[in-house]
Amino acid sequence: MESHGRDEGKGPVLHIVVVGFHHKKGCQVEFSYPPLMPDEGHDSSLLPEEWRYLPFLALPDGAHNYQEDTVFFHLPPLSGDGKCVYGVSCYRQIEAKALKVRQADVTRETVQKSVCVLSRVPLYGLLQAKLQLITHAYFEEKDFSQISILKELYDHMNGSLGGSALDGSQVYLGLSARDLILHFRHKVLILFKLILLEKKVLFYISPVSRLVGALMTVLSLFPGMMEHGLVDSSHYKPRSSVSEELPLKESVSGGEEFVSVSVSDVADPNLEGTAPPAGDSGNSTEGNHLLKPPASSSPVSASPVSSESDWETLDPGVLEEGGPKESPEKEEELLDTFDSQPGVPITVQPQAVTGQGGVTQGLVSGLEEDQYGLPLAIFTKGYLCLPYMALQQHHLLSDVAVRGFVAGATNILFRQQRHLSDAVIEVEEAQIQIQDPELRKTLSLTTADLRFADYLVKHVTDNRDDVFLDGTGWEGGDEWIRAQFTLYLHSLLSSTLQPDSDRLLADFGVPFITAWKITHSFRVWSSNKHVAMSSITPGHPFHGQYSVADVKLRLSHSVQNSERGKKLGNAMMTTSRSMVQTGKAVGHTVGGALNSAKSAMSSWFSTLAHPALATGPEVSEPNTETKP
> What pLDDT, in 10s, does the model give residues 330-343?
333 333 333 434 34
Phi then psi for residue 580, to 5 deg, are -65, -45
Q: How far apart are the first and last CA of the chain?
A: 108
Q: What is the mean pLDDT of residues 466-473?
A: 54
Percent of the chain at pLDDT exceeding 90: 49
Kindly compute the dihedral angle of the four CA atoms of residues 349, 199, 554, 218, in this order, to the nearest 10 degrees.
Answer: 40
Confidence of residue 24 (pLDDT cuts 50, 70, 90): confident
350 or 76, higher pLDDT: 76
Residue 578: per-residue pLDDT: 62
Are 217 and 499 in contact, with CB atoms under 8 Å apart? no
Lowest mean pLDDT among 96-100, 379-383, 452-456, 536-540: 96-100
Lowest mean pLDDT among 46-55, 162-171, 281-290, 398-407: 281-290
Which residues, in sequence order, are bridge partners of residue 425?
A: 203, 432
Angstrom distance (rounded) from CA 323 to CA 319: 9
**CA neighbours within 13 Å on the CB side: how many for 299?**
12
Name the average pLDDT for the chain.
76
> What pLDDT, in 10s, does the model give residues 218-277?
999 999 999 999 999 999 988 765 444 444 444 433 433 444 444 444 334 344 444 444
Residue 569: per-residue pLDDT: 58
Residue 265: per-residue pLDDT: 44
283, pLDDT greater than 50: no
307 or 30, higher pLDDT: 30
Kindly state the helix (H) or strand (E) to which residue 450 belongs, with its residue range: helix 447-462
Are 229 and 368 in contact, with CB atoms under 8 Å apart? no
11, pLDDT greater than 70: yes
Dihedral sign of CA atoms 388, 393, 397, 399 in order: negative
SS3 content of the chain, % helix, strand, coil (to 5): 40, 10, 45
Residue 372: per-residue pLDDT: 96
Residue 53: per-residue pLDDT: 96
500 or 341, higher pLDDT: 500
DSSP string computed for 160-198: HHTT----HHHHTTT--HHHHHHHHTTHHHHHHHHHHTT
Instruction: Give the highest mean pLDDT range of 232-246, 328-342, 426-440, 580-594.
Output: 426-440
Confidence of residue 143 (pLDDT cuts 50, 70, 90): confident
341 class by beta-carbon count within 10 Å (0-12 exposed, 13-18 middle, 19+ buried): middle
Are 87 and 116 in contact, with CB atoms under 8 Å apart? yes
What DSSP state is assigned to residue 199? Answer: -
b/e per residue 148-177 (b: at least 16 CB within 10 A): eebeebbeebbeebeeeebebebbbebbbb
What secondary structure, in 3-state letters, does 526-583 show? HCCCCHHHHHCCCCCCCCCCCCHHHHHHHHHHHHHHCHHHHHHHHHHHHHHHHHHHHH
Dihedral sign of CA atoms 186, 188, 193, 198 in order: positive
Residue 624: per-residue pLDDT: 40
Angstrom distance (rounded) from CA 193 to CA 190: 5
Dihedral sign of CA atoms 121, 122, 123, 124 in order: positive
Residue 264: per-residue pLDDT: 42
CATH number of 13-174: 3.30.450
Confidence of residue 570 (pLDDT cuts 50, 70, 90): low
Residue 25: per-residue pLDDT: 82
610, pLDDT greater than 60: no
Residue 123: per-residue pLDDT: 93
Q: What is the mean pLDDT of residues 208-220?
A: 97
How does strand 360-361 pair with strand 368-369? antiparallel
626, pLDDT greater than 80: no
